[in-house]
Structure 1
Amino acid sequence: MLELNLGDIVLLRKKHPCGGDSWKVVRLGSDVGLLCETCHHRTMLDRLVLERRIYEIRPSQSDGVDSVSST
Structure 2
Amino acid sequence: MDYNVGDTVIMKKPHPCGSKEFEILRVGVDFKLKCAGCGREVMVPRIKALKSIKKKKEG
TM-score relative to the length of structure 1: 0.78
Structure 2 unaligned regions, length at least 5: none
Q: Which letter does structure 2 place at the counterpart of 1:42?
A: E
CA drift at 1:21 = 0.4
Deviation digits for residues 7-37 of structure 1, max 9, x if unmatched? 0001110001100000000011100100000
In the other structure, the counterpart of 1:56 is 55
% identical aligned pairs:
31
Tell me which structure has the larger Cα radius of gyration: 1
TM-score relative to the length of structure 2: 0.92
Q: Alignment length, in residue pairs?
A: 59
In the other structure, the counterpart of 2:8 is 9
Higher strand share: 2
Structure 1 unaligned regions, length at least 5: 62-71
